[in-house]
Structure 1
C-alpha cells in the first residue's frame, strides 16, 4: 500500500524532466493560516471532492461533509487530515483571470463582426489542427459554428485567453459560454513577445497594456495576436445560473478568490492549495485547484480566479506576483513524497 501511495504522489509531481523536489511543512509555517476563512475554503473543496476517486481522498470527502455542518470545524478538518507540501522552489508566479462580460450579437452586423466558434466536429482531443491565422482567415465561415459575434477583435482574443464569458445580446439576453476545446497548438504569450521586441517593458506587460497597445496599433497589433497559434472553441452553457461561476477543468463551477488554475502535472486537480501571494493586493488564503490553462505550466505556478465583469478583469489583469504555494495532501500521500532514507 505504501508503494502505491508513493507512486500516486510521484505521478502528481513528475514532469518529463524528472521528479520534482517536495518539502512537507507544518501548518504553523503557513503565513496567515489561522486568519483565513476555512469554512469558505471547505465549501469550495466540497464542490469537486466527489470527483477525487483515489482511495485516500474518498474518506476525506465524507469527513468534509460532516465538518461542513459545523463551520468552526473547518480548520480542524484540514489540520487533522492534510499536510502542506511545497513542490518545487519559490518564488512562485501568480497571475489572475476572470470571466468577461461582453456585448455581442447572434448574427453578424457592421458592428458585431468578429465571431466566436463552437468546436468543429472533426477536431479530435489532443490533435494538432489548423492555426489561429488559418481559422481567422475564414476557414470556418458558412458552417454555422458561430455562437455569437463580438464588436472587438481584441476582446474576442482575450475571451479565448480567459476560456469563458458572458455575452450580452442586443435584446438583453445573456449567453454563458465555456471552453469546449482548442486546436492543439502551444500557447504563445503576446506579452512576452512584445517585451522581446522592446514594445513594452517587462514590468509594464499586463492584459490592460497589451489591449491598449494593440488598439493604438491595429495592423501591427493584429499581427502580434496572430503569433499565438493556439485557438479556443466554446460551447453554450444554458443551464448555468447567473449566480454561478464559470465551469472549470473539473466540469464544475469555480469560485471567486477560492479557485485557481494549476498545472496538473504537479498539483492534483481538486486538492486544496495554500497561496501566499506577495506584491500589490497580497493574499494569504486557502484555494482549491479546480482549473487549468494553456499558459499555466510549472510547479510554483497558479492563476487566481478573480470573478466576473470589468472590475474583476481590471484586478486580474494586473496580477503578476511572486510568493509561494503549498498543496494540501492527505497525510500518507504527503509523507510518501519524501525521499526514502
Structure 2
C-alpha cells in the first residue's frame, strides 16, 4: 500500500540543484491543450481544473524569472511512500526516426497502419462477459457479436487489408515493433519531407514485454536487459524474431500528426508536445495529466537523476503509483539513452495550493 507524506522542499535531495526553468517550459505547454480535451482525475484526487490557475501563472514574467520559486510558491510537495519500503521504477521512451515511403516494394515491405474502421472502443455498456476489463478495443464477428480484435500474429498473416490501411512502409519489422512500443515516430519520406505518426488505438490485447520473456528463457541476463540488447538478440536470431515479437499480441494503430515542428516533441496522451527529460509517462488511473512530479532515480545513463517532470503521457506497461517512463527526445541518440534506463526511483507529487487536498484520504494500491 502506498501513501502520500508531506515533505518540505529543503528536505528533497537534488531539488535546489535542478533546472527548474526546463521543468517550467514543460509545464507551460499544458496551455497548448485543446479546449475540448478533458483529462480524467486520477485516484490521487487532483482534479484537472486545479491546474488551470497555475498554468496561467506559469506564463507570467515572474514565473519565468524565478521558476523554482514559482513551483515552491504554488505547490505543496508530497512524497509517495510504500508501507513495505518498496520503491518505484523508471524506464525510458523516445520518438524513433526512420526512413519510410508511401508505397511498398521489395525493400520497404513493413507497414505502419492507421486505425481500422471496424475497431470498436469497449466500455461497461458493450464489453461482453467473455472479455476482461483489460480489453479496451474489440470488433464484431460475422454474427454481430463483439469479440477480441485480431492480434499481432493474425494481422501479420493478413487478417486485415494492410495495403488499404498503411500510412507508410518501412524496411525493418524490428523498427516497426519498437515504433509500436514507443507509440510514435518521425518518418523521413525522402525529398526533405518528414511526417509524424502518433498512437490512435490498438488491438486491445494485454501488452507483453518480450524482454521479460528473454530473461525467463535465459537468453539475456536480467542485469543486461535493455532495448539495445533485445534488438541485438532479434538481429542475431532472425529465424526466431518474428515469433518472439508476436508473443506481444498487442498491435498499435497510428494517425498522422497534422504538422511537424522540429523544436517540439510528439503530441502524446495529454495532447501537448512532450519535452525531452521533462515529460513523464505515468499510470493515468492514479496521476492526473499535468501533475509536476519530482523524480529521484538511482541511476539514469550512469548518473543520479533528480528532475522535476510533468505527467504528460501514459503507457500499457506503466502501472502503479511510482512507475514512470522518461521521454528522451527523438532520433537514434535519444533511443540509446532511453533504451538503457531501468532504475529504482522515488516520486514526489506537487499539488496546487488551495484545492482542499487531504493526503490522509489518499489510499493507493
Q: More helix by proportion, 1 or 2? A: 1
- Candidates 95, 102, 108, aligned match of 1:99: 95
Whether 1:322 aligns to 2:344 is: yes
Whether 1:37 aligns to 2:59 is: no
* TM-score in terms of structure 2 length: 0.83
Map 1:232-247; keep pairs closer than 5 Å.
232-247=252-267
Q: Give the Cα–Cα distance (whole angstroms) in 2 for the partners of residues 225 and 169 of structure 1.
A: 26
Q: Give the Cα–Cα distance (whole angstroms) in 1 for the partners of residues 108 and 352 of structure 2.
A: 50
Q: Give the Cα–Cα distance (whole angstroms) in 1 for the partners of residues 9 and 22 of structure 2.
A: 18
Whether 1:48 aligns to 2:30 is: yes
Is the Cα–Cα contact under 8 Å of residues 89 and 323 in structure 2 kept in the other structure?
A: yes
Cα offsets for 1:263-310 (capped at 9, x unmatched): 012222111010111122321111100001111111111100111110
| 1:63 Cα deviation from its structure 2 partner | 2.2
Q: What is the DSSP-based 3-state SS (H/G/I as helix, E as strand, rest coil) of the residue aligned with 2:208?
A: coil
Cα offsets for 1:224-253 (capped at 9, x unmatched): 110001111111113122222111111111
Q: What is the DSSP-based 3-state SS (H/G/I as helix, E as strand, rest coil) of the residue aligned with 2:59?
A: helix
Structure 1 partner of 2:330: 308
Structure 1 partner of 2:78: 85
RMSD: 2.0
Cα offsets for 1:52-96 (capped at 9, x unmatched): 774432222232222x44533321121122112223435221101
| 1:220 Cα deviation from its structure 2 partner | 1.4
Q: Give the Cα–Cα distance (whole angstroms) in 2 for the partners of residues 55 and 303 of structure 1.
A: 24
Is the Cα–Cα contact under 8 Å of residues 63 and 70 in structure 2 kept in the other structure?
A: no
Whether 1:73 aligns to 2:29 is: no
Structure 2 partner of 1:132: 152
- Candidates 105, 112, 125, aligned match of 2:108: 112
- Candidates 55, 64, 72, aligned match of 1:61: 55
Q: Give the Cα–Cα distance (whole angstroms) in 2 for the partners of residues 115 and 339 of structure 1.
A: 48
Q: Give the Cα–Cα distance (whole angstroms) in 1 for the partners of residues 280 and 48 of structure 2.
A: 21
| 1:140 Cα deviation from its structure 2 partner | 2.3
Q: Give the Cα–Cα distance (whole angstroms) in 2 for the partners of residues 312 and 56 of structure 1.
A: 33
| 1:48 Cα deviation from its structure 2 partner | 1.1
Q: Give the Cα–Cα distance (whole angstroms) in 1 for the partners of residues 236 and 322 of structure 2.
A: 35
Distance 1:164 1:258, change over 3 A: same
| 1:335 Cα deviation from its structure 2 partner | 4.7
| 1:321 Cα deviation from its structure 2 partner | 0.8
Aligned length: 321
Q: Give the Cα–Cα distance (whole angstroms) in 2 for the partners of residues 178 and 91 of structure 1.
A: 31
| 1:160 Cα deviation from its structure 2 partner | 0.5
Q: What is the DSSP-based 3-state SS (H/G/I as helix, E as strand, rest coil) of the residue aligned with 1:139?
A: coil
Between stretches 25-34 and 55-64, larger displacement belongs to 55-64
Q: What is the DSSP-based 3-state SS (H/G/I as helix, E as strand, rest coil) of the residue aligned with 1:255?
A: coil
Is the Cα–Cα contact under 8 Å of residues 83 and 334 in structure 1 kept in the other structure?
A: no
Structure 2 partner of 1:11: none
Cα offsets for 1:162-198 (capped at 9, x unmatched): 1111111243421211111111111100000111111
| 1:120 Cα deviation from its structure 2 partner | 0.4
Structure 1 partner of 2:119: 123
| 1:116 Cα deviation from its structure 2 partner | 0.6
Distance 1:69 1:55, change over 3 A: same
Structure 2 partner of 1:8: none
| 1:142 Cα deviation from its structure 2 partner | 5.4
Distance 1:22 1:50, change over 3 A: farther
Distance 1:243 1:236, change over 3 A: same
Map 1:1-341; keep pairs closer than 5 Å.
20-48=2-30, 54-66=48-60, 68-89=61-82, 90-125=86-121, 126-128=136-138, 129-141=149-161, 144-279=164-299, 280-332=302-354, 335-339=357-361
Q: Structure 2: 5+ residue runs without aligned partners?
A: 34-38, 40-46, 122-135, 139-148
Q: What is the DSSP-based 3-state SS (H/G/I as helix, E as strand, rest coil) of the residue aligned with 1:34?
A: coil
